[in-house]
């Protein structure tokens, strides 16, 4: 049995491929919408974040032998929890993470943290389009809800996100509630519609449609603040499905 942390669309594709190869899986996801795609594929799942103790309990209850961590590149705590649980339970841990992209352009400013991104964005004027999701929204509202900036937030259209926006003071007219990924053409249309002067995004990789966000912004001569991935030293890190299969085969 594999305990599988599924945090992205390509991760769910990996789960399906593992199931086709005869592996039994229990996938963990954070949202109900993510669970629905697994349910359609007949993959057992658990919804909700897990502590080390909860993960260890599942390991013992289900007879888990391997943990595959395919959580989102920015789900730092989930990865640390999975590695700690694997070590505690003496299991094999495998990390799958989509390949990183390299971006070199005078309009792109790379930063290490959300706080750094917010402080740099504060020096701009006009419309700042935030495409980093709701998890760190408070970091940006703290710095960017000022007279010289219109903060437009693009995020998943769920109740929790809308309530969070309301709580933090984001106006309804400044919320783009939509589920991606998006084409370059749609990104372009949104930037133009909101007269965007700055884009803030994360380096999530091609599957996360960062390319389309970046390409559209750069073609319109819009500066981009790019938040780099967390620096974590993973065990058995794989960047392709085939590497995951080979690592599993060697156990």
pTM for the complete prediction?
0.72
Q: Do domains 2-99+231-249 and 108-227 have the same CATH topology?
A: yes
Q: So what's the pLDDT on residue 165?
A: 96
Q: What would you measure as the largest C-alpha separation in the chain, in angstroms?
A: 58
Which CATH code fits 2-99+231-249?
A: 3.40.50.720
CA distance 203 to 74: 9
Domain positions in the chain are 2-99+231-249, 108-227
H-helix segments, 125-251: 137-144, 159-168, 184-193, 210-219, 241-249
CA distance 131 to 129: 6
**DSSP state for residue 220 in the 8-state scheme:** T
In the chain, count H helices and then E strands: 10, 12
Tell me the CATH number of domain 108-227, given options 3.20.190.10, 3.40.50.720, 3.40.50.620, 1.10.10.10: 3.40.50.720
CA distance 225 to 62: 43
Paired residues of 66 in beta bridges: 2, 92
Contact 251, 66 (CB under 8 A): yes
Contact 69, 175 (CB under 8 A): no
Query: For 158-217, how does the pLDDT look when each residue is reduced to its tens digit (9 = 90+)?
Result: 899 999 999 999 999 999 999 877 899 999 999 999 999 999 998 865 554 568 888 999
Residue 75's Cβ-side half-sphere holds a number of Cα atoms within 13 Å equal to: 21
Q: Judge whether residue 95 has pLDDT over 90.
A: yes
């Amino acid at each position: 049995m594999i305990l599988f942390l599924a945090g992205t669309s390509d991760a769910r594709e990996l789960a399906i491929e593992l199931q086709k190869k005869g592996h039994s899986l229990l996938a963990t996801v954070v949202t109900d919408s993510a669970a629905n795609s697994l349910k359609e594929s007949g993959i057992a799942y658990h919804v909700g974040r897990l502590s080390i103790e909860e993960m260890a309990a599942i390991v013992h209850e289900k007879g888990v032998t391997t943990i595959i961590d395919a959580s989102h590149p920015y789900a730092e705590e989930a990865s640390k929890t999975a590695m700690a649980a694997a070590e505690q339970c003496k299991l094999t841990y495998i990390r799958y993470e989509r390949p990183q992209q390299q971006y070199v352009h005078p309009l792109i400013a790379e930063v290490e943290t959300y706080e750094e991104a917010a402080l740099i964005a504060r020096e701009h004027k006009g419309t700042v389009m935030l495409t980093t999701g709701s998890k760190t929204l408070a970091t940006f509202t703290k710095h960017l809800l000022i007279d010289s900036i219109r903060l437009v937030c693009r995020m998943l259209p769920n109740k929790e996100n809308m309530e969070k926006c309301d709580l933090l003071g984001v106006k309804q007219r400044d919320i783009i509630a939509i589920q991606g990924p998006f084409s370059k053409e749609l990104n372009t249309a949104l930037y133009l519609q909101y007269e965007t002067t700055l884009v803030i995004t994360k380096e999530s990789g091609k599957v996360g449609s960062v390319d389309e966000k970046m390409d559209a912004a750069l073609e319109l001569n819009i500066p981009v603040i790019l938040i780099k991935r967390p620096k974590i030293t993973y065990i058995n890190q794989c960047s392709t499905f085939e590497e995951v299969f080979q690592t599993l085969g060697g156990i």
